[in-house]
Amino acid sequence: MTYFIKASRFLLEDGEKKDAYLQVNQDRFGFFVDEVPNQANIIDWSGYTVAPGLFDTHIHGINGYDVMDGNTEAIHGISEAILPLGVTRFLPTTLTSSEADLEQAIKAIRDAVKQGLQGAQSEGMFLEGPYFTEKHKGAQNPDYFCDPDEKQFLSWQQLAEGSIVKIALAPERNGAIEFIDSIHKDGVLLSIAHSDASYDCCQKAIHAGANNFVHLFNGMSGLHHREPGVAGAAFIEEQAFAELICDGHHVHPEVASLAAKIKGNKLTLITDCMRAGLMPDGNYMLGEFPVVMEDGIARTESGSLAGSTLRLIDGVKNLQTWTSEPLYDIWHLASLSPAASIGRDDLLGSIATGKIADFVVIDDQLTIQSVTVAGKEKYHKEKSEVNE
């Protein structure tokens, strides 16, 4: 099926295109045209903006579901809950846990994807842990922390049928540098997280193949003028990606703005959302830890932030407000940069000829009106329905 989208504005990688028609051929974007053929199928979004689908590369759960529930219902639930929020692609994200629980979660993700997700589509799995350090454990369970084990990881990758695309670890753990050097060659994004590593240690990890910093400033040694630490390494290493949670709680707005200025398109906006997202204040679980959410902020009993309840579209709104940068620049930090971080920017993350036609329609307040995945509308605000 071929159709044309008419809109007042399209957000592109390098700017905006106004008052045009965009061709969609089957599941791919075609070309922009000023006029369409007679009898063409036109979807008219005059007065609205069309933007790339958002891509959340770090999400544990939402709407009462968690990846660590270890069942396909949770993965389907997350997929369907984030679709109306403008997210078309995501990486289901695990927590540090027992081998048995991790393997159950991996199987659940694998099986749910095989069954077919009706909402946002999974682009692979993200294992957050268990190779972390206790000093910056955050809401990760230190009882299961251990040194990187290539044999163990490869067994998980086999169970996942090759779909683990990202793993986070603390590079100061024994054998971590060798692990990074070996695993990154298979196309897995090695990420630094929950780490007290020195700057020199981070540099070794980066040179070995690590190319991402998980939730910048959170769960890592901070920037000091005599010891740049993990946060400093994220800033100094220009080619490394750095994730940021823009909810105003995890990172101060001015520091978030500074990160955007320094990292540019190597900054990736994430949610790190847990099951309390979209839910009322109250008591929840994050892995094995009880969590209390008050005023939308989730914390463990010790007071540590326990993931977030952020919607990715709100992270975009926040950072755009804080920086006053053009919307298309900030938007792509939540679409194209995440895709680039896992090497999928050739097909995903922006409106460009030949790329998969994932897009959202927004009004001037960035309210989601419609969400399309691979050329098929899956959500429409007025009807609130999913088209098969």
CA distance to 237, 281, 313, 337, per residue, from 242 (Å): 10, 30, 18, 10
Give 291-329 pLDDT, tens digit per residue.
898 988 988 887 788 889 999 999 999 999 999 999 999
Residue 386 has pLDDT above 70, yes or no: no
Is there a single domain that holds both residue 25 and residue 78? Answer: no
- Is 131 in the same domain as 200? yes
Whether 385 maps to a domain, the answer reads no
Question: Does residue 66 sit in the same domain as residue 155?
Answer: yes
The token pair at 358 is 């994932």
388 lies in some domain: no
Tell me the C-alpha to C-alpha distance, in Å, between residue 78 and each of 8, 60, 112, 152, 189: 31, 9, 11, 27, 23
Per-residue model confidence (pLDDT) at position 271: 98
Distance set, CA 286 to CA 64, 94, 180, 283, 306 (Å): 11, 11, 27, 10, 7
Residues 27 and 130 in one domain: no
* Distance separating alpha carbons of residues 298 and 328, to the nearest angstrom: 30
Task: Specify if 233 maps to a domain.
Answer: yes
**Is 168 within a domain?**
yes
Domain assignment present for residue 126? The answer is: yes
Burial of 54 (0-12, 13-18, 19+ CB in 10 A): buried
> In terms of domains, do 97 and 6 share one?
no
Residue 61 placed within a domain? yes
More confident residue, 287 or 67: 67
Note the pLDDT tens digit of each residue in 159-209.
999 999 999 999 999 999 999 999 999 999 999 999 999 999 999 999 999
Question: In terms of Cα–Cα distance, which of 96, 321, 136, 305 is closest to 220?
Answer: 136
Do 116 and 34 have their domain in common?
A: no
Length of the chain in terms of residues written: 388
Domain residues for the domain of 363 are 2-52+349-380
First CA to last CA distance, the chain = 15
332/353 same-domain check: no
- The rounded radius of gyration (Å) of the Cα atoms in the chain is 20
Mean pLDDT of 49-74: 97
- Looking at residue 153, its pLDDT comes to 97
Residues identified as active-site: 272
User: Which CATH number do you get for residue 163?
Assistant: 3.20.20.140
In a domain, 386, yes or no: no
Task: Give yes or no: residues 77 and 195 share one domain.
Answer: yes
Asked if residue 87 and residue 45 are part of one domain, the reply reads: no
The encoded tokens of residue 32 equal: 């922009």
Please enumerate in sequence order all residues whose Cβ is within 8 A of that of 349, keeping only pairs 6 or more positions apart, or say none. 52, 55, 332, 335, 336, 337, 338, 339, 340, 355
pLDDT for 387: 39
The average pLDDT across 356-377 equals 97
- pTM (whole model) above 0.85: yes
Q: How many whole angstroms separate alpha carbon 63 and alpha carbon 279?
A: 6
Beta 189-192 vs 210-213: how paired, if at all?
A: parallel
pLDDT in tens, 136-159: 887 788 899 999 999 999 999 999
Residues 361, 244 within the same domain: no
pLDDT band at 347 (very low <50, low <70, confident <90, very high): very high
Which residues on neighbouring strands pair with residue 54, listed in sequence order? 87
Which pairing describes strands 2-12 and 42-52: parallel, antiparallel, or unpaired? parallel
Which pLDDT does position 70 carry in this prediction? 96
Confidence of residue 384 (pLDDT cuts 50, 70, 90): very low
Tokens 């036609």 sit on residue: 357
Q: Give tens-digit pLDDT for 71-103.
A: 999 999 999 999 999 999 999 999 999 999 999
Place of tokens 């070309």: 31
Mean pLDDT computed over 245-262: 96
User: Considering the domain boundaries, does residue 154 fall inside one?
Assistant: yes
On whether both 290 and 181 belong to a single domain, the answer is yes
Contact indicator for 183, 153 with CB cutoff of 8 Å? yes
- Identify the CATH number of the domain in which residue 376 sits: 2.30.40.10
317 and 274 inside one domain: yes
- Give the per-residue pLDDT at 286: 84
Number of domains in the chain: 2
Side chain identity at 308, as an amino acid letter?
Answer: S
